Amino acid sequence: MSVVGIVQARMASTRLPGKVLSDIAGVPMLGRVVGRLARAESVDDVVVATSTSVGDDAVARYCEAHGIRVFRGDEVDVLDRFYRAASETGAHVVIRVTADCPLLDPEVVDRAVAALAAGADYVTTRHPPFPDGTDVEVFSMQALERAWRDATSPLDREHVTPLLRRDDGLRRVALDGAPVLPPGGDRWTVDEERDLAFVRAVYERLGSDEYAGIRTVADLLWKEPALTQLNSGIARNEGLYRSIAEEPALAAEPLRLDRSRALAERAARVIPSGTQTFSKGPTQFVRGVAPMFLDSGRGSHVWDVDGNEFIDYAMALGPIILGHAYPDVDEAVAAQVRRGVAFSLPHPLEVEVAEQLVEIVPCAEMVRFGKNGSDATSGAVRAARAYTGRELIACCGYHGWQDWYIGTTTRSLGVPRGVQDLTVPFAYNDLASLERIFEEHPGRVAAVIMEPVGIAAPEPGFLEAVRELATREGALLVYDEVVTGFRLALGGAQELFGVTPDLAAVGKAMGNGFPIAAVVGRADVMEIFDEIFFSFTFGGEAASLAAAAATLAVLRDGEVIPHLWAQGQVLSDGFNTLAAHFELGETARCIGLHPRTVLAFYETDGHDPLLLKSLFQQECIRRGVLFTGGQNISFGHSDADVEHTLRVYRAAFEVLRKGIDDGDPEALLDGAPVEPVFRAP
């Protein structure tokens, strides 16, 4: 079996022309890549695939002068060039790398080839993502020939492997073992002058260890994190996004909405607001354009009552972390339903799931279950008041519908003034605003409850300072991890950021859509639950506990959360690159940590941000993408989903650009715009 490594190389680079022959510690970058690839024990031959363009004569001359096999083919149809290079060498297994990856790891190449030999058709380092610039794709010659035969779009022909990543007929494997990197330390490719400076600095420090692998380089970046600043802030896979931007816009498809409209009329007669959840209601979509009732879901896709299909990014407001109707979870629930759901005594699953949470969540020593996030946050607040003997709560973020919190918002109707006065909000990343609460209410603050990260990331030292301040003032620190739990890291944001609260509220993703939440925390604080009233008929309901046990088992396998980060990064970088392409970078921005991002819109030329968001949303829905403003990534969101979504965003940006240029984006809106859940006071 012949294993051939093919290096794509060209001199024409928009951002850094001639980069492939740029000097890195005395050797051209192409030589660095070829040398590292040839060092892999599994590789039988290495070929540089360049184009027949005169501009690439320099690549051919370099290869010929240094005894490197070279193949020249079509400049634009890179897939054809790649396929013919592989065919000429008689390859059975093909390794694809690009000439801008001078820190390619030979050991990772060998591991990828071994994974293919174990029964895969396509192996990638993209999920979970290895550092950008250590990318390896390995596939069989049969799979390459299939892509070469079937690919028709210019993007698929230019980027070689998108069709392989979307082809459900192939057995695909994502290589694991990516190193943990310091923030901003995942860009090792060379697309710009700053990237070249980074790679040169790394090679300078490697010295004689010129073939050092990714773990050695990762250790170097932890020791010298300033190196990561040399090329920070550059989008990964920008070439792909630019290719999508240059494609023709996807056409909008008319939606059938007859059954949705009929159900909405019936709902208006019997359900206030027509919905059980404000954020799922008709005011959150362009009315008359969007579906109003969903009927089913599988993976990342949902179908409305009229049969329209959408890629779902709301994902039920965050609980669906594995995908709709995930088999392991559904089978566990079905098995439990056959044995019973609600019992007159505790069920063993209460113990088993609690033990899992104690193992997973850093602050968890004991556990009490509820059904909603509001149950958990309110239980934590009651416990904090009972434990400290104090009544005032300092809060930051959204914490549910109960009186103690919702009284601080514009939805406070029905909450007694005395209750409202016992909760005081402070601003995220603004320690002084929290310090003022303690100064103005000395000895009265029972707890600081906060989302450890909402949309904006914590500034360096902020979470640590809040932890220290709460401890110093005798208040408990409570993390509301209903959203972030099991999504940013297995143990939530507290694991990711390394700051441990006294109590935490978790929920949403824990049951992959089944209703379950929990308060977890220090044993001495949790023991107060023996005295306070936190008791539910369905607190130990067994079907949801079975769902949680199955979901946590999948999450603990280690593949899900890296997938969320990887897919979220592609969507975030792609959205922002497309916005910049249409000169809308100041109008629309994808913000937040990659597993959960928000598409934020800003006032432009006097146009209301909600109007601009509404127009963008309308165009997405018409092309099969459903969102209310955020992107909750699930394990079910595939490469094909993400690439289609970016094409949809590209089309929506074109319409948004036209509306702004015409001075009347509302004229392009075919229904009432989105309204805020929390109205301005």
Mean pLDDT lowest for which of 115-129, 209-223, 416-430, 650-664? 115-129
| Contact of 591 with 597, CB cutoff 8 Å | yes
Residue with tokens 């934590």: 380
Give CA angle at 637 (632, 640), nearest 5°: 135
The β-bridge relationship of strands 122-124 and 137-140 is: antiparallel
Q: Please, which pLDDT band fits residue 127 given cuts at 50, 70 and 90?
A: low
Q: Please, which pLDDT band fits residue 128 given cuts at 50, 70 and 90?
A: low
Tell me the two tokens of residue 225: 């994190």
In sequence order, what are the beta bridge partners of 520? 367, 504
How many Å apart are CA 34 and CA 463, to the nearest integer? 45
Q: Please, which pLDDT band fits residue 467 given cuts at 50, 70 and 90?
A: very high
In sequence order, what are the beta bridge partners of 368? 519
How many Å apart are CA 218 and CA 563, to the nearest integer? 20
User: Average pLDDT, stretch 671-678?
Assistant: 87
User: Average pLDDT, stretch 110-134?
Assistant: 89
| Contact of 324 with 297, CB cutoff 8 Å | yes
Residue 679 has what pLDDT?
56
The CATH class, in words, for 3-234 is alpha beta
- Angstrom distances, CA of residue 619 to CA of 246, 251, 289, 350: 18, 10, 9, 45
Residue 167 has what pLDDT?
83
Domain coordinates in residue numbering, the chain: 3-234, 258-324+560-668, 342-540
| Alpha helices (runs of H) in 367-428, residue ranges in sequence order | 373-388, 403-406, 417-420
User: Which is nearest to 68 in space by CA: 116, 41, 34, 33?
Assistant: 34
User: Average pLDDT, stretch 443-469?
Assistant: 95
Residue 364 has what pLDDT?
98
- Does position 232 have pLDDT exceeding 90, yes or no? no
CATH number of 258-324+560-668: 3.90.1150.10
How many Å apart are CA 146 and CA 141, to the nearest integer? 9
Mean pLDDT lowest for which of 32-46, 392-406, 464-478, 553-567? 553-567
| Contact of 54 with 13, CB cutoff 8 Å | no
Residue 662 has what pLDDT?
96
User: Average pLDDT, stretch 100-122?
Assistant: 95
The CATH class, in words, for 342-540 is alpha beta
The answer to whether domain 258-324+560-668 and domain 342-540 are alike in fold is: no
Mean pLDDT lowest for which of 8-12, 476-480, 562-566? 562-566
How many Å apart are CA 506 and CA 327, to the nearest integer? 23
Map residue 597 onto helix, strand or coil: strand
- Does position 630 have pLDDT exceeding 80, yes or no? yes
Residues comprising the chain, all counted? 681
Residue 681 has what pLDDT?
47
Map residue 25 onto helix, strand or coil: coil
3-state helix, strand, coil in the chain (%, to 5): 45, 15, 40
- Does position 348 have pLDDT exceeding 70, yes or no? yes
Q: Please, which pLDDT band fits residue 559 given cuts at 50, 70 and 90?
A: confident
- Does position 238 have pLDDT exceeding 80, yes or no? no
User: Which is nearest to 29 in space by CA: 91, 137, 124, 102?
Assistant: 102
Which region, left, alpha or beta, applies to residue 167 given φ > 0 means left and ψ of -120 to 50 means alpha?
Answer: beta
Map residue 454 onto helix, strand or coil: coil
Q: What is the share, in percent, of the chain residues with pLDDT greater than 90?
A: 84
Q: Which of 146-160, 282-296, 521-535 has the highest mean pLDDT?
A: 521-535
Tell me the two tokens of residue 623: 């092309």
Please write the tens of the pLDDT for every residue from 268-283.
999 999 999 988 888 8
User: Average pLDDT, stretch 139-166?
Assistant: 90
Residue 169 has what pLDDT?
87
How many Å apart are CA 213 and CA 476, to the nearest integer? 44
Map residue 450 onto helix, strand or coil: strand
Tell me the two tokens of residue 277: 């959840």
DSSP code at position 573: H
User: Average pLDDT, stretch 202-225?
Assistant: 92
